[in-house]
Structure 1
Amino acid sequence: MNITRQEVEDFLYREAELLDEWKMQEWANLFAKEGTYAIPPIGSPNADFRTALFLVHDDRARLEQRALRLLKKEAHVEFPHSKTTHTVSNVRIVSNEDGVVTVKANFITYRAKRDFLDPYVGVNEYKLVNEDGELKILSKKVILNLEALRPQGKVSIIL
Protein backbone atom coordinates (compact mmCIF):
# COMPACT_ATOMS: atom_id res chain seq x y z
CA MET A 1 0.00 0.00 0.00
CA ASN A 2 1.40 3.38 -0.98
CA ILE A 3 0.62 5.83 1.83
CA THR A 4 2.29 8.99 3.04
CA ARG A 5 3.04 10.04 6.59
CA GLN A 6 0.61 12.94 6.11
CA GLU A 7 -2.20 10.50 5.26
CA VAL A 8 -1.34 8.43 8.32
CA GLU A 9 -1.27 11.54 10.53
CA ASP A 10 -4.66 12.68 9.20
CA PHE A 11 -6.08 9.22 9.96
CA LEU A 12 -4.69 9.23 13.52
CA TYR A 13 -5.93 12.77 14.14
CA ARG A 14 -9.38 11.66 12.98
CA GLU A 15 -9.26 8.74 15.41
CA ALA A 16 -8.35 11.14 18.26
CA GLU A 17 -11.20 13.46 17.32
CA LEU A 18 -13.74 10.63 17.31
CA LEU A 19 -12.61 9.53 20.78
CA ASP A 20 -12.73 13.06 22.20
CA GLU A 21 -16.24 13.52 20.78
CA TRP A 22 -17.35 10.15 22.22
CA LYS A 23 -18.23 8.84 18.75
CA MET A 24 -17.43 5.32 19.83
CA GLN A 25 -19.23 3.43 17.08
CA GLU A 26 -17.44 5.49 14.44
CA TRP A 27 -14.16 4.75 16.25
CA ALA A 28 -14.86 1.02 16.17
CA ASN A 29 -15.54 1.30 12.44
CA LEU A 30 -11.94 2.44 11.92
CA PHE A 31 -10.86 -1.15 12.59
CA ALA A 32 -10.48 -3.88 10.01
CA LYS A 33 -12.71 -6.96 10.22
CA GLU A 34 -9.86 -8.78 12.00
CA GLY A 35 -8.85 -5.69 14.01
CA THR A 36 -7.53 -5.78 17.57
CA TYR A 37 -7.08 -3.19 20.34
CA ALA A 38 -4.68 -4.01 23.17
CA ILE A 39 -3.12 -2.41 26.23
CA PRO A 40 -0.39 -4.72 27.57
CA PRO A 41 0.69 -4.68 31.22
CA ILE A 42 2.65 -1.59 32.28
CA GLY A 43 6.35 -2.35 31.97
CA SER A 44 5.78 -5.37 29.70
CA PRO A 45 4.97 -4.03 26.23
CA ASN A 46 5.88 -7.30 24.50
CA ALA A 47 3.90 -9.55 26.84
CA ASP A 48 1.87 -12.41 25.38
CA PHE A 49 -1.85 -11.98 26.05
CA ARG A 50 -2.18 -15.75 26.55
CA THR A 51 0.12 -15.70 29.58
CA ALA A 52 -0.06 -12.12 30.92
CA LEU A 53 -2.88 -10.02 32.31
CA PHE A 54 -3.52 -7.25 29.77
CA LEU A 55 -5.43 -4.11 30.75
CA VAL A 56 -7.32 -4.56 27.46
CA HIS A 57 -7.11 -7.20 24.74
CA ASP A 58 -10.08 -6.91 22.37
CA ASP A 59 -10.80 -8.49 19.04
CA ARG A 60 -13.11 -6.63 16.65
CA ALA A 61 -16.32 -7.98 18.21
CA ARG A 62 -15.16 -7.15 21.73
CA LEU A 63 -14.00 -3.63 20.89
CA GLU A 64 -17.38 -2.95 19.28
CA GLN A 65 -19.06 -4.14 22.50
CA ARG A 66 -16.72 -1.93 24.56
CA ALA A 67 -17.56 1.08 22.37
CA LEU A 68 -21.32 0.51 22.72
CA ARG A 69 -21.12 -0.10 26.48
CA LEU A 70 -19.24 3.16 27.05
CA LEU A 71 -22.20 5.05 25.60
CA LYS A 72 -24.68 3.57 28.09
CA LYS A 73 -25.59 4.80 31.57
CA GLU A 74 -24.74 1.33 32.88
CA ALA A 75 -21.06 2.13 32.27
CA HIS A 76 -21.17 4.11 35.52
CA VAL A 77 -17.46 4.93 35.60
CA GLU A 78 -17.92 6.89 32.38
CA PHE A 79 -21.40 8.29 32.90
CA PRO A 80 -21.50 11.17 32.59
CA HIS A 81 -18.63 10.94 30.13
CA SER A 82 -15.16 12.13 31.03
CA LYS A 83 -13.74 15.05 29.11
CA THR A 84 -10.79 13.77 27.12
CA THR A 85 -8.11 15.28 24.96
CA HIS A 86 -6.14 12.84 22.80
CA THR A 87 -2.91 14.32 21.42
CA VAL A 88 -0.85 12.51 18.79
CA SER A 89 2.77 13.37 17.91
CA ASN A 90 6.01 11.99 16.47
CA VAL A 91 4.17 9.92 13.87
CA ARG A 92 6.52 7.66 11.97
CA ILE A 93 6.07 4.91 9.42
CA VAL A 94 8.23 2.02 10.61
CA SER A 95 7.62 -0.32 7.69
CA ASN A 96 5.37 -0.80 4.69
CA GLU A 97 5.42 -4.44 3.64
CA ASP A 98 2.93 -6.89 2.15
CA GLY A 99 0.07 -4.39 2.33
CA VAL A 100 0.58 -3.66 6.04
CA VAL A 101 1.85 -0.26 7.18
CA THR A 102 3.43 -0.34 10.63
CA VAL A 103 3.22 3.01 12.42
CA LYS A 104 4.40 4.31 15.78
CA ALA A 105 3.10 7.52 17.32
CA ASN A 106 3.61 9.11 20.71
CA PHE A 107 0.49 10.11 22.57
CA ILE A 108 -0.76 11.87 25.63
CA THR A 109 -4.38 11.57 26.63
CA TYR A 110 -5.85 13.74 29.35
CA ARG A 111 -8.99 12.58 31.17
CA ALA A 112 -10.88 15.10 33.29
CA LYS A 113 -13.55 13.74 35.62
CA ARG A 114 -14.90 14.78 39.02
CA ASP A 115 -12.22 17.42 39.69
CA PHE A 116 -9.36 15.05 38.73
CA LEU A 117 -7.07 15.25 35.72
CA ASP A 118 -5.44 11.94 34.77
CA PRO A 119 -2.67 11.95 32.15
CA TYR A 120 -1.91 8.82 30.14
CA VAL A 121 1.31 8.91 28.10
CA GLY A 122 3.00 6.43 25.85
CA VAL A 123 3.42 5.07 22.35
CA ASN A 124 0.74 3.66 20.09
CA GLU A 125 1.83 0.95 17.67
CA TYR A 126 -0.49 0.49 14.70
CA LYS A 127 -0.71 -1.91 11.83
CA LEU A 128 -2.80 -0.29 9.09
CA VAL A 129 -4.28 -1.98 6.01
CA ASN A 130 -6.43 -1.10 3.06
CA GLU A 131 -9.80 -2.83 3.41
CA ASP A 132 -12.50 -2.24 0.82
CA GLY A 133 -10.70 0.88 -0.41
CA GLU A 134 -10.38 2.46 3.05
CA LEU A 135 -7.53 2.74 5.53
CA LYS A 136 -8.30 0.52 8.54
CA ILE A 137 -6.60 -0.44 11.80
CA LEU A 138 -5.54 -4.07 11.80
CA SER A 139 -4.05 -3.69 15.27
CA LYS A 140 -3.54 -0.94 17.82
CA LYS A 141 -1.28 -1.58 20.79
CA VAL A 142 -1.17 1.11 23.48
CA ILE A 143 2.13 1.04 25.37
CA LEU A 144 1.76 3.12 28.53
CA ASN A 145 4.92 4.89 29.71
CA LEU A 146 3.79 5.05 33.32
CA GLU A 147 4.98 3.47 36.54
CA ALA A 148 1.41 2.75 37.61
CA LEU A 149 -2.17 3.79 36.94
CA ARG A 150 -2.60 6.49 39.55
CA PRO A 151 -4.85 7.38 41.19
CA GLN A 152 -7.72 5.52 39.53
CA GLY A 153 -5.95 2.18 39.05
CA LYS A 154 -7.72 1.39 35.78
CA VAL A 155 -8.31 2.57 32.22
CA SER A 156 -11.99 3.39 31.73
CA ILE A 157 -11.63 5.32 28.48
CA ILE A 158 -10.34 4.37 25.04
CA LEU A 159 -6.74 5.48 24.70
Structure 2
Amino acid sequence: MTETLTRPARDRALVTEVEEFLYDEADLLDQWRLHEWLALFAPEGRYLVPATDKPDGDPLRDLFLIQDDRFLLEQRVNSLLTRAAHAEYPHSRTRRLVTNTRASAREDGRIEVSANFAVFRVRNAVMDTYVGRYAHVLERAEGTGFTFLTRKAVLDLDALRPHGKVSIIL
Protein backbone atom coordinates (compact mmCIF):
# COMPACT_ATOMS: atom_id res chain seq x y z
CA MET A 1 0.00 0.00 0.00
CA THR A 2 1.33 3.42 -0.95
CA GLU A 3 0.89 6.32 1.44
CA THR A 4 0.11 9.68 -0.04
CA LEU A 5 2.03 12.66 1.23
CA THR A 6 -0.47 15.29 2.26
CA ARG A 7 0.59 18.89 2.16
CA PRO A 8 -1.28 21.97 3.22
CA ALA A 9 -2.71 24.04 0.41
CA ARG A 10 -0.27 26.74 -0.68
CA ASP A 11 -0.87 30.06 -2.32
CA ARG A 12 1.59 29.77 -5.22
CA ALA A 13 1.24 33.48 -6.05
CA LEU A 14 2.25 34.40 -2.50
CA VAL A 15 5.25 32.06 -2.58
CA THR A 16 6.39 33.56 -5.89
CA GLU A 17 6.01 37.09 -4.54
CA VAL A 18 7.99 36.21 -1.40
CA GLU A 19 10.69 34.49 -3.47
CA GLU A 20 11.16 37.63 -5.56
CA PHE A 21 11.42 39.70 -2.37
CA LEU A 22 14.07 37.33 -0.95
CA TYR A 23 16.03 37.32 -4.24
CA ASP A 24 16.02 41.13 -4.33
CA GLU A 25 17.12 41.20 -0.68
CA ALA A 26 19.98 38.76 -1.40
CA ASP A 27 21.10 40.95 -4.30
CA LEU A 28 21.17 44.06 -2.08
CA LEU A 29 23.31 42.23 0.48
CA ASP A 30 25.70 40.79 -2.13
CA GLN A 31 26.19 44.28 -3.54
CA TRP A 32 26.72 45.78 -0.05
CA ARG A 33 23.77 48.14 -0.55
CA LEU A 34 23.11 47.92 3.17
CA HIS A 35 21.17 51.15 3.63
CA GLU A 36 18.70 49.99 0.97
CA TRP A 37 18.56 46.59 2.68
CA LEU A 38 17.87 48.27 6.03
CA ALA A 39 14.86 50.00 4.45
CA LEU A 40 13.27 46.53 4.13
CA PHE A 41 12.74 46.45 7.92
CA ALA A 42 9.67 47.70 9.73
CA PRO A 43 10.43 50.19 12.55
CA GLU A 44 9.88 47.36 15.05
CA GLY A 45 11.82 44.87 12.88
CA ARG A 46 14.40 42.51 14.37
CA TYR A 47 17.36 40.61 12.93
CA LEU A 48 18.15 37.37 14.79
CA VAL A 49 20.82 34.69 14.52
CA PRO A 50 20.49 32.06 17.28
CA ALA A 51 23.56 30.40 18.79
CA THR A 52 24.62 27.25 16.94
CA ASP A 53 24.01 25.09 20.03
CA LYS A 54 20.45 26.37 20.49
CA PRO A 55 18.94 26.93 17.04
CA ASP A 56 15.38 27.08 18.37
CA GLY A 57 16.29 29.33 21.28
CA ASP A 58 14.07 32.09 22.60
CA PRO A 59 15.60 35.57 22.22
CA LEU A 60 14.05 36.59 25.54
CA ARG A 61 15.87 33.80 27.45
CA ASP A 62 18.74 32.47 25.38
CA LEU A 63 22.03 33.80 24.08
CA PHE A 64 21.96 34.71 20.38
CA LEU A 65 24.88 35.43 18.07
CA ILE A 66 22.92 38.43 16.79
CA GLN A 67 19.84 39.93 18.38
CA ASP A 68 19.34 43.36 16.83
CA ASP A 69 16.33 45.61 17.05
CA ARG A 70 16.04 48.36 14.43
CA PHE A 71 18.34 50.74 16.34
CA LEU A 72 21.12 48.16 16.74
CA LEU A 73 20.68 47.05 13.15
CA GLU A 74 21.22 50.62 11.96
CA GLN A 75 24.41 50.74 14.05
CA ARG A 76 25.56 47.42 12.53
CA VAL A 77 24.95 48.68 8.98
CA ASN A 78 26.73 51.97 9.60
CA SER A 79 29.68 50.16 11.15
CA LEU A 80 29.96 47.62 8.32
CA LEU A 81 30.14 50.42 5.78
CA THR A 82 33.12 52.16 7.41
CA ARG A 83 36.82 51.37 7.57
CA ALA A 84 36.39 50.80 11.31
CA ALA A 85 34.88 47.37 10.60
CA HIS A 86 38.26 45.71 10.09
CA ALA A 87 36.73 42.27 9.61
CA GLU A 88 34.89 43.63 6.57
CA TYR A 89 37.20 46.26 5.11
CA PRO A 90 37.65 45.84 2.30
CA HIS A 91 34.26 44.16 2.01
CA SER A 92 34.02 40.43 1.58
CA ARG A 93 32.55 39.18 -1.63
CA THR A 94 29.41 37.19 -0.97
CA ARG A 95 27.01 35.12 -3.01
CA ARG A 96 23.69 33.93 -1.61
CA LEU A 97 21.46 31.06 -2.62
CA VAL A 98 17.88 30.99 -1.34
CA THR A 99 15.85 27.83 -1.96
CA ASN A 100 12.83 25.78 -0.88
CA THR A 101 10.79 28.85 -0.01
CA ARG A 102 7.52 28.37 1.82
CA ALA A 103 5.13 31.18 2.69
CA SER A 104 1.79 31.21 4.44
CA ALA A 105 -0.48 34.05 5.44
CA ARG A 106 -1.52 34.17 9.07
CA GLU A 107 -4.89 35.28 10.33
CA ASP A 108 -3.41 38.62 11.42
CA GLY A 109 -2.30 39.29 7.81
CA ARG A 110 1.37 38.70 8.49
CA ILE A 111 3.28 36.19 6.42
CA GLU A 112 5.43 33.39 7.84
CA VAL A 113 8.32 32.44 5.58
CA SER A 114 10.75 29.58 5.71
CA ALA A 115 13.55 29.02 3.21
CA ASN A 116 16.94 27.37 3.05
CA PHE A 117 20.07 29.43 2.45
CA ALA A 118 23.73 29.15 1.63
CA VAL A 119 25.94 32.21 1.91
CA PHE A 120 29.40 31.97 0.42
CA ARG A 121 31.86 34.56 1.75
CA VAL A 122 35.23 35.12 0.07
CA ARG A 123 37.86 37.17 1.85
CA ASN A 124 41.67 37.04 1.69
CA ALA A 125 41.54 34.06 -0.70
CA VAL A 126 39.51 32.01 1.81
CA MET A 127 35.93 30.92 1.23
CA ASP A 128 33.61 30.37 4.18
CA THR A 129 30.20 28.81 3.73
CA TYR A 130 27.25 29.49 6.02
CA VAL A 131 24.22 27.22 5.56
CA GLY A 132 20.91 27.14 7.34
CA ARG A 133 17.29 28.12 7.17
CA TYR A 134 15.43 31.37 7.33
CA ALA A 135 12.38 31.80 9.57
CA HIS A 136 10.99 35.24 8.75
CA VAL A 137 7.82 37.12 9.57
CA LEU A 138 6.85 39.70 6.95
CA GLU A 139 4.10 42.22 6.52
CA ARG A 140 2.92 43.89 3.34
CA ALA A 141 4.32 47.35 2.63
CA GLU A 142 4.07 50.03 0.00
CA GLY A 143 6.82 50.02 -2.61
CA THR A 144 8.92 47.07 -1.43
CA GLY A 145 6.04 44.62 -1.32
CA PHE A 146 7.05 43.43 2.14
CA THR A 147 8.94 44.51 5.22
CA PHE A 148 10.64 42.34 7.81
CA LEU A 149 9.11 42.15 11.25
CA THR A 150 11.49 39.30 12.08
CA ARG A 151 14.42 38.23 9.93
CA LYS A 152 15.87 35.10 11.50
CA ALA A 153 18.81 33.10 10.12
CA VAL A 154 19.23 29.73 11.82
CA LEU A 155 22.63 28.22 11.10
CA ASP A 156 23.00 24.49 10.52
CA LEU A 157 26.64 24.61 11.60
CA ASP A 158 27.68 22.78 14.77
CA ALA A 159 30.00 25.67 15.58
CA LEU A 160 31.42 28.72 13.89
CA ARG A 161 34.61 26.89 13.02
CA PRO A 162 36.51 27.53 10.86
CA HIS A 163 34.75 30.90 10.52
CA GLY A 164 35.04 31.92 14.18
CA LYS A 165 32.54 34.74 13.77
CA VAL A 166 29.72 36.16 11.71
CA SER A 167 30.91 39.50 10.37
CA ILE A 168 28.48 39.70 7.44
CA ILE A 169 24.71 39.86 7.28
CA LEU A 170 23.43 36.33 6.79
TM-score normalised by the shorter chain: which range applies? over 0.9
Pair 1:149-2:149 in alignment = no
Match of 2:33 among 19, 23, 31: 23
The count of residues paired between Structure 1 and Structure 2 equals 158
* Residue equivalent to 1:90: 100
Q: TM-score, normalised by structure 1?
A: 0.94
SS in 1 for 2:64: coil
- Report the alpha carbon displacement of residue 86 of structure 1 after superposing the two structures with TM: 1.0
Match of 2:52 among 12, 17, 42: 42
* Residue equivalent to 1:116: 126
**Contact 2:96 2:119 (C-alpha < 8 Å) held by counterparts:** yes
Where structure 2 has 5 or more consecutive residues not aligned to the other structure, the ranges are 1-10
Structure of higher CA gyration radius: 2
Partners of 1:94 and 1:41 in 2: how far apart? 26
Q: TM-score, normalised by structure 2?
A: 0.88
Runs of 4+, deviation exceeding 2 Å: 48-52, 94-97, 131-134
Partners of 1:132 and 1:94 in 2: how far apart? 19
Q: Which moved more, 1:120-129 or 1:38-47?
A: 38-47
Amino acid at match of 1:152: H
Match of 2:42 among 11, 32, 39: 32
% identical aligned pairs: 47
* Residue equivalent to 1:127: 137
Question: Deviation per CA, 1:110-137, whole angstroms, max 9, x where unpaired?
Answer: 0000111000000001101024564111
- Report the alpha carbon displacement of residue 50 of structure 1 after superposing the two structures with TM: 3.3
* Residue equivalent to 1:11: 21
- Report the alpha carbon displacement of residue 43 of structure 1 after superposing the two structures with TM: 3.1
SS in 2 for 1:55: strand
Q: Where do residues 50-65 of structure 1 align in structure 2 (5 Å cutoff)?
A: 50-65=60-75
- Report the alpha carbon displacement of residue 155 of structure 1 after superposing the two structures with TM: 0.1
* Residue equivalent to 1:74: 84
Amino acid at match of 1:137: F
SS in 2 for 1:138: strand
Where structure 1 has 5 or more consecutive residues not aligned to the other structure, the ranges are none
- Report the alpha carbon displacement of residue 64 of structure 1 after superposing the two structures with TM: 1.3
SS in 1 for 2:35: helix
SS in 1 for 2:151: strand
Partners of 1:40 and 1:153 in 2: how far apart? 15
RMSD between aligned residues: 1.5
Amino acid at match of 1:91: T
